[in-house]
Amino acid sequence: MKLSEAHLMQLAAVLDAGSISAGAQALGLTQPAVSRSLAMLEARIGEPLFVKGRRPLQATALGAQLAAHGRAILTASRRASDTVKGFMTGTKGLVRVGGVPFFMDAMISRMVADFQNLEPDVTVQQSYGNLPDLSGALENDLIDLAIVPMGALDAAPGFEFTEILPGRNIVSCRPGHPLLRKRRLQISDLGDFPWVAPLPGSPLMSDLHSILLANGMSAINIRYSGGSLMSVINYMAETNALAVLPFSVVFAQRKENRVTVLPLDIPQPNRSLGILRRATGQRSQAADRFASYVNTAFDDLKHLIKRHENTVVWGR
């Protein structure tokens, strides 16, 4: 025997409300329509649903069991409605974000945690890559947005780039590094110490080459390569190795006091950190919500980063 899910939901609402009129009001229906539905349900099963003469309404044993099923259907229906509403407003759903490793580890992963504290029903999938890989992932709808450093005019047709932080690179070292004790620090001093190489494919590699050209050096002593941000910091904290890093990445590690800024002004790249997205096509509302959160977070953060940068006495 097949029973109408709508009739079972109405039965549950009526019993929970105590009367047909109150149950109908809770469902946004009229009292005559609900009365007809319950009459049809009783006719269908051939048994009474309510104990006669009881007010508020009291279910028979069979009516109570059917109401339990109706209550489950009603709960599932309301959850489905909440899911649709959350998806449309961005408070539920999936965000697929990719980015360059050092920025993702130092800054974006913390923003993901803060975002999910506000939006606990949004799931975030994080992945790594450099600009060519992330552009391809966006093109093939494998990610919703990418956090990448690039020039404002470098976005390919079909993409849009929103700057969230101006570019600023520095040479990083451990807090007790010998170069920090030099009174007249010069770029030529950088050749006296080993280096950590940027990750393969990272734009930081070209920035390192710019430092070499500015110093007239053809090569440097690279002692460590291929590590994650945490492994690079662990390595630098125990050695006199140097590394080219974004200022913001070192700023994010300032409380640990394991790496610091070597106060030497170096050639700067003509690019910024920003959000790269497809300019056309359907967008995830949850991804839009996350992108807006990242924009706001960086609006607050870049003033702190600039203030920290201004406290450094840069050598030339």
- Whether residues 80 and 98 share a domain: the answer is no
**C-alpha dihedral sign at 88, 89, 95, 97:** positive
**C-alpha dihedral sign at 201, 206, 212, 213:** positive
- Whether residues 149 and 276 share a domain: the answer is yes
Q: Tell me the pLDDT tens digit for each residue of 52-107.
A: 878 888 889 998 899 899 899 888 888 877 777 776 677 889 999 999 999 999 99
Task: Quote the CA–CA distance of 112 and 122 in Å, as a whole number.
Answer: 10
Q: Tell me the pLDDT tens digit for each residue of 168-186.
A: 999 999 999 999 999 888 8
Chain centre distance of CA 60: 52
Confidence label for 313 from pLDDT (cuts 50, 70 and 90):
low
Task: Quote the CA–CA distance of 77 and 86 in Å, as a whole number.
Answer: 14
The pLDDT value given to residue 141? 93
The answer to the question of residue 282 being in a domain is yes
- Whether residues 82 and 104 share a domain: the answer is no
Task: Quote the CA–CA distance of 278 and 148 in Å, as a whole number.
Answer: 14
- 277 touches 145 (CB < 8 A): yes
Residue 223: give its domain's CATH number: 3.40.190.10
- Whether residues 282 and 156 share a domain: the answer is yes
- Whether residues 285 and 248 share a domain: the answer is no
For residue 316, pLDDT over 60 is answered with no
Confidence label for 159 from pLDDT (cuts 50, 70 and 90):
very high
Of 71, 89, 107, the residue at which a domain comes to its end is: 89
**C-alpha dihedral sign at 151, 152, 155, 157:** negative
Task: Quote the CA–CA distance of 180 and 20 in Å, as a whole number.
Answer: 81
The answer to the question of residue 267 being in a domain is no
Q: Take residue 63 and report the two structure tokens written for it.
A: 């009516």
- Whether residues 293 and 247 share a domain: the answer is no
The answer to the question of residue 298 being in a domain is yes
The per-residue b/e assignment along 202-231, b for 16 or more CB within 10 angstroms, e otherwise, is bbbeebbeebeeebeeeebeeebeebebee
Q: Domain range for residue 183? A: 169-262
Q: What percentage of the chain's residues is helix, strand, coil (to nearest 5)?
A: 50, 20, 35
For residue 213, pLDDT over 90 is answered with no
Q: Take residue 64 and report the two structure tokens written for it.
A: 């109570």
For residue 161, pLDDT over 60 is answered with yes
Residue 31: give its domain's CATH number: 1.10.10.10
Give the total number of structural domains in the chain.
3
The answer to the question of residue 204 being in a domain is yes
Of 45, 68, 89, the residue at which a domain comes to its end is: 89
- Whether residues 200 and 242 share a domain: the answer is yes
Q: How far apart are the first and last CA of the chain?
A: 86
- Whether residues 138 and 282 share a domain: the answer is yes
Task: Quote the CA–CA distance of 309 and 300 in Å, as a whole number.
Answer: 15
The answer to the question of residue 316 being in a domain is no
The answer to the question of residue 208 being in a domain is yes
Task: Quote the CA–CA distance of 260 and 79 in Å, as a whole number.
Answer: 50
pTM of the model as a whole = 0.74
The answer to the question of residue 315 being in a domain is no
For residue 267, pLDDT over 60 is answered with yes
- Whether residues 151 and 290 share a domain: the answer is yes
- Whether residues 189 and 123 share a domain: the answer is no
Compute CA distances 210 → 49, 56, 203, whole Å: 83, 83, 11
Confidence label for 148 from pLDDT (cuts 50, 70 and 90):
very high
AA letter at 215: N
The answer to the question of residue 20 being in a domain is yes
What SS3 class is residue 124? strand
